[in-house]
C-alpha cells in the first residue's frame, strides 16, 4: 500500500495524466464559479443537499466532492478534515504529514490515507486537498475510492486535481 500512496502523490505532483473528460465541474453549481475542475467521462456530477458539488464514477467505486468554507481560518481546517472522515470513513488512518501542493495556481496541502467505507466496510483510500480559491475562503476537494478500484482510479483522481483552476 505504501507504493500506491507514494505513486498517488507522485501522480498529483508530477505526471500529466490523460483522461477523457465529459464536462467541467464548477463551484458553486449554478453560480459564478470560484473554481472549476474537469470530471472524467461517464462520471455523474450533481449539486447535493449541502450545496456542495459531487461526482461519482460509473462503477460507483470512486467519489469526489468539492465545497468552500467561508470565514474559516486555516488552523480550523483540522476540525473540518476530522468531520469529513467521521462522516465517510471508519477507522481512518492518515498517512504521514500533509504535503504542500499547488494546482492551477491554487496553493494548498494534500492529506492522504486509508480506512473502511462506512456503509459496506470495504477498504478505501481517501485524499483531501485544501486550497485557497479566494480571500477569506478555503476550498476543499475530497476523494474516496475503493481499494479494489485503486489502480484504475488513481490516474483519474490525479487528472481531476491537476485540472483545478480559478473560475471557469
Report mean pLDDT in 10-residue bins for the chain, 168 residues.
Answer: 43 45 74 85 82 87 88 74 88 92 91 92 92 88 87 83 85
CB 8 within 8 A of CB 140: no
pLDDT in the model for residue 100: 94
Q: Is the torsion defined by CA of 91, 95, 99, 104 positive or negative?
A: negative
Cα angle: 138, vertex 27, 102; to 5 degrees? 50
Note if the bond before 28 is cis, omega within 30 degrees: yes
Fold assignment, 2-16+60-145: Protein Transport Mog1p; Chain A (3.40.1000)
Q: What share of the chain is helix, strand, coil (3-state, %, to 5)?
A: 25, 45, 30
Closest CA to 16 of 159, 156, 143: 159
Domain extents in the chain = 2-16+60-145
How many C-beta atoms lie closer than 10 Å to residue 90's C-beta? 13
Q: What is the largest CA-CA distance in the chain?
A: 40
**pTM for this entry:** 0.82
CA 112 from centre of chain: 10
Per-residue model confidence (pLDDT) at position 19 = 52
pLDDT at 20: 56
Nearest to 129 by CA among 109, 106, 144: 109
Amino acid at each position: 500500500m505504501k507504493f500506491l500512496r507514494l505513486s498517488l502523490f507522485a501522480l498529483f505532483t508530477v505526471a500529466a495524466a490523460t483522461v477523457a473528460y465529459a464536462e467541467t465541474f464548477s463551484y458553486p453549481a449554478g453560480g459564478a464559479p470560484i473554481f472549476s475542475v474537469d470530471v472524467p467521462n461517464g462520471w455523474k456530477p450533481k449539486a447535493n443537499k449541502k450545496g456542495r458539488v459531487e461526482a461519482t464514477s460509473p462503477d460507483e467505486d470512486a467519489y469526489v466532492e468539492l465545497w468552500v468554507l467561508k470565514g474559516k481560518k486555516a488552523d480550523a481546517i483540522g476540525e473540518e478534515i476530522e468531520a469529513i472522515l467521521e462522516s465517510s470513513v471508519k477507522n481512518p488512518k492518515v498517512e504521514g504529514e500533509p504535503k504542500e501542493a499547488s494546482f492551477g495556481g491554487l496553493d494548498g496541502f494534500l492529506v492522504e490515507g486509508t480506512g473502511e467505507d462506512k456503509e459496506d466496510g470495504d477498504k478505501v483510500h481517501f485524499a483531501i486537498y485544501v486550497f485557497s480559491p479566494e480571500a477569506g475562503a478555503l476550498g476543499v476537494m475530497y476523494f474516496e475510492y475503493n481499494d479494489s478500484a485503486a489502480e484504475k482510479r488513481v490516474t483519474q483522481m490525479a487528472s481531476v486535481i491537476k485540472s483545478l483552476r480559478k473560475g471557469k
